[in-house]
């Protein structure tokens, strides 16, 4: 992987390996991961891994359609889940080694955290977040379906279906840890050891081993440099007042975590061509939904596991006339006849608070009279939000720090105590417009310019349209 500071040979923490006894290793299976080295899987975890529900993750690419632009981005949710399992174990072992007596961490806690790490993404939909955030809202108005809740439901189904002998309290705690992300909250039933809920899906401040793994893994797969080193945070974190806290001197390392994540969103996850392909996949799924009844799978865990990225192959190889429109869209992607990116603009900072998503109808209403008349089906709009996990707020303000290992006080670091070289704005809102038909690029681009002038009084386009590029060449 490129980048002078990126560790391509990240291996298991020595402290983690020390606590895995030879007795444990005799009954464990190990796999070699290209990010974390050897990962040891105890029998209880293998019972979950060796199910069709978990193996489904092999057919879910971690980055959806990004491999169409970054050819190396073909890693799966399966690899990522094993990585999060590994880091969850390392994190809880680090805390046990440093504060074991004080925190009363026992084998039940360790196993539960690792189980949450292993299964946190088992309910994820096809094509990364596209399925949940872009496809379902188009076919199920007002849908509140989430992959986190499906993960919780699938875990119960797996335990029942495969007769896994595990304590119900352990399953309940692991499920709560999966739901402890920013969209949810710490469970009301949790009265002690709340710091354990900070490890896998941290809803308090966004620092968790899920991000540690995908930032390193995604950067490597896409051939990008990465100078965020999560090991430093893992080795120095400490629990104060039932919360994982970090040394104040490490605030720049933490900022690098959020900045690297934002860079991945900007350069990979929301790359203009990646979004063009994703918009086409969404349209293909919407067209196919009535015939394939895709949405019927999302409420039933016994059927949901059958839904994965291979649905594209199902659509493009099916002879059914009902799937012709969807099939044609997939064929266009194969032949690189993509929706044409027309242009983009960044929403001014002072307009972010009251910004409403721009729609195709907004662009059509800005078209001047005369010439070709645009229809809603001619235009695709992508409203891209990129932030540091806390919207327009500084993420460091929600993190608790400590001065040194002798201190018992935790505190946050406000904006005025942070380096002035760090950003003063923590969110970007970018509006991109695409023409679904190559011959309409010029017309759509002009209507988009008119929309900007009407909305903000400026024309802030920074890219040459594909049509002008061709004329220049």
- The catalytic residues are 147
Angle between helices 209-221 and 251-264 in degrees, nearest 10: 50
Other CB atoms within 10 A of residue 120 CB: 28
CA-wise closest residue to 209 among 118, 91, 128: 91
């Amino acid at each position: 992987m490129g980048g002078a500071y990126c560790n391509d040979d990240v291996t298991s923490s020595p402290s983690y390996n020390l606590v895995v006894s030879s007795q444990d290793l005799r009954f464990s299976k190990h796999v070699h991961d290209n990010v974390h080295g050897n990962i040891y899987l105890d029998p209880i975890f293998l019972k979950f891994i060796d199910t069709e529900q978990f193996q489904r993750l092999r057919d879910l690419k971690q980055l959806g359609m990004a491999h169409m632009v970054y050819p190396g981005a073909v890693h799966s949710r399966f690899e990522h889940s094993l990585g999060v399992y590994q880091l969850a174990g390392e994190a809880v072992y680090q805390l046990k080694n440093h504060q074991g007596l004080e925190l009363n961490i026992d084998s039940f806690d360790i196993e539960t955290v690792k189980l949450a790490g292993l299964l946190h993404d088992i309910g994820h939909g096809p094509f990364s977040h596209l399925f949940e955030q872009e496809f379902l809202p188009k076919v199920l108005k007002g849908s509140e379906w989430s992959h986190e809740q499906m993960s919780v439901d699938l875990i119960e189904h797996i335990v029942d279906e495969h007769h896994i002998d595990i304590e119900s309290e352990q399953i309940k705690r692991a499920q709560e840890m999966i739901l402890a992300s920013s969209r949810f909250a710490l469970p009301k039933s949790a009265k002690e050891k709340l710091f354990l809920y900070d490890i896998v899906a941290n809803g308090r401040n966004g620092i968790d081993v899920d991000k540690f793994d995908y930032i390193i893994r995604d950067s490597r797969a896409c051939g990008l440099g990465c100078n965020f080193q999560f090991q430093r945070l893992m080795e120095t974190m400490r629990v104060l007042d039932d919360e994982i806290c970090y040394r104040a001197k490490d605030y720049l390392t933490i900022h690098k975590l959020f900045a690297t994540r934002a860079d991945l969103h900007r350069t990979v996850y929301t790359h203009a061509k990646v979004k063009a392909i994703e918009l086409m996949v969404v349209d293909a799924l919407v067209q196919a939904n009535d015939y394939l009844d895709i949405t019927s799978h999302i409420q039933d865990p016994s059927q949901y596991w059958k839904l994965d990225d291979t649905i594209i192959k199902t659509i493009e190889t099916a002879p059914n006339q009902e799937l012709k429109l969807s099939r044609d869209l997939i064929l266009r992607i194969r032949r690189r006849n993509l929706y044409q990116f027309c242009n983009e603009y960044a929403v001014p900072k002072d307009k972010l608070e009251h910004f409403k998503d721009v729609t195709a109808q907004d662009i059509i209403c800005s078209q001047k009279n005369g010439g070709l008349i645009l229809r809603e089906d001619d235009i695709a709009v992508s409203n891209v939000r990129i932030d540091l996990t806390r919207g327009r707020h500084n993420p460091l303000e929600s993190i608790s720090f400590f001065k040194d290992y002798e201190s018992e006080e935790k505190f946050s670091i406000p904006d005025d105590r942070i380096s002035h070289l760090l950003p003063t704005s923590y969110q970007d809102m970018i509006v991109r417009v695409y023409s679904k038909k190559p011959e309409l690029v010029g017309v759509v681009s002009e209507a988009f310019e008119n929309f900007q002038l009407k909305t903000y009084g400026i024309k802030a386009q920074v890219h040459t349209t594909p049509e002008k590029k061709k004329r220049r060449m």
